[in-house]
Amino acid sequence: MNNYIEIVKDALKSVATEFNVKSEKRVYVVVPKEKIIETAKIVFKDLGMRFAIASGIDTPRAIEIMYHFSPDAYNMLVNISVFINKDDLTIDSIASVITGAAWIETEIREMLGVTFNNHPGPEKLLLGDDWPEDLHPLRRDNKDTRSTAAIRERLRRDGLLTASD
Amino acid sequence: MNLKLRALAKSPWVYHLSTGSCNNCDIEVLDALTPRFDIERFGCVLVGSARHADVLLVCGSMNRKTIPRVLEIYEQCAKPCLVVAVGGCACSRGLFKDSYNVGDSLDKYLPVHAYVPGCPPKPEAIILGVVKAAEVLKKLEKGESPELPVVEENVAQVSDLEKM
């Protein structure tokens, strides 16, 4: 297991800025957002890891997207995170390397407002047809999305609230 | 008309519609259809298209995204079509009442003929819901006005049934 972590560290040394080994089952890597496609190619094609899911969170300094890869034979997770500054919320889509990543990127775009360059996939998966374009429910810095009640208040102001209670 | 309604009550064909549920109610509907609890002994068959359906088994709280799609599917059902709300979410949105992505409860959009509360309801309860909804048809055939299940705000009225 430690041998494999050394292999991963060696393969990612050209792109990773931080490499934390939390335990023998969990590895956390930070890469700059310009190198994400190169990282995806190394991890998916050369090392053969399975892409599990991606998760996004809104933090005070940036929006963090964490891609979770799983080398199943070694019983561990390799979590690769990128930090995207809020003044330029774009990142390359890894759907050109991993076809299965298109849907989760659509969900991240809908809920957090990150723009993915060259994104092939569906436009909307979670939110309704008449949802306002600038309302991203999982952002925490926006006054309108601070809480569920705030989102409902914003929908009521826009005249879109369908519930009568 | 009497013969058709009588035949309908003897063998209501069932269409399962999930409007954004957690899938627990969907699994219990599956249990009700398979041989252990066996709704097929009442003549019910699961159909693949809403156009062949006599009974709509609706699960899930209505998302904002699914509201226009559910209305379109209800228009495709050949009337008279009975609607059975399966599960707490379909009856009244359950614990998702204050969510931002959930609209009004199902009975504000469609006339509901039986409510099956539970989270999820047991398959026996789902069978009872379908049977009660079929009894509504029998009463219509006899010419009586059927007593709809009484809920807080009774939106589905007898006049809605006569329009079917």
Contact A67, A54 (CB under 8 A): yes
User: By residue range, what is the domain housing residue A150?
Assistant: 127-165
Alpha helix ranges (H) inside A74-128: 102-112
Q: How far apart are CA A23 and CA A2, in angstroms?
A: 10
Indicate whether A31 and A97 sit together in one domain: yes
Reading the block at residue A1, the tokens are: 């297991």
Residue A115 has a CB neighbour count (10 Å cut-off) of: 12
Give the mean pLDDT of chain B: 83
Task: Please tell me which residue of chain B has the smallest CA distance to A150.
Answer: B100
Is the pLDDT reported for residue B134 higher than 90?
no
CATH 3.40.50.12280 fits B2-163, yes or no: yes
The series of mean pLDDT values per 10 residues for chain A, 165 residues long, is: 87 92 93 94 93 94 94 92 93 94 94 93 89 91 89 90 74
Total domain count for chain A? 2
Per residue in A29-65, pLDDT (tens digit) is 999 999 999 999 999 999 999 999 999 999 998 999 9
Is the pLDDT reported for residue B15 higher than 70?
yes
Indicate whether A32 and A109 sit together in one domain: yes
Would the ipTM clear 0.90, i.e. be above it? no
Per residue in B94-116, pLDDT (tens digit) is 889 888 888 888 988 988 888 99
Helix (H) / strand (E) element for A23: namely: strand A18-23
Give the mean model confidence (pLDDT) for residues B127-151. 71
Indicate whether A62 and A10 sit together in one domain: yes
| Chain B nearest CA to A62, separation (Å) | 25
Indicate whether A12 and A58 sit together in one domain: yes
Q: Which residues of A touch B101 (CB under 8 A)?
A: 126-128, 137
pLDDT of residue B94: 87
pLDDT of residue B150: 43
Interface test with A, best of B64, B92, B102 (most A CBs within 10 A): B64
Indicate whether A23 and A76 sit together in one domain: yes
CATH number at residue A11: 3.30.460.80
Indicate whether A76 and A31 sit together in one domain: yes
Task: Give the pLDDT band of residue B79 (cuts 50, 70, 90).
Answer: confident
Indicate whether A112 and A156 sit together in one domain: no
Neighbouring-strand partners of residue A127: none
Q: How far apart are CA B128 and CA B134, in angstroms?
A: 10
CB B64 to CB A164 under 8 A?
Answer: no
SS3 call for A51:
strand
Is the pLDDT reported for residue B58 higher than 80?
yes
Interface of A with B in 123-142 (CB under 8 A): 126-131, 137
Q: What are phi and psi of B82, to 5 degrees?
A: -95, 145
Indicate whether A118 and A132 sit together in one domain: no
pLDDT of residue B139: 74
Beta A63-70 vs A77-84: how paired, if at all? antiparallel
Q: How far apart are CA B70 and CA B19, in angstroms?
A: 7
Is the pLDDT reported for residue B160 higher than 70?
no
SS3 call for B121:
coil
* Interface contact A148, partner B, CB < 8 A: yes
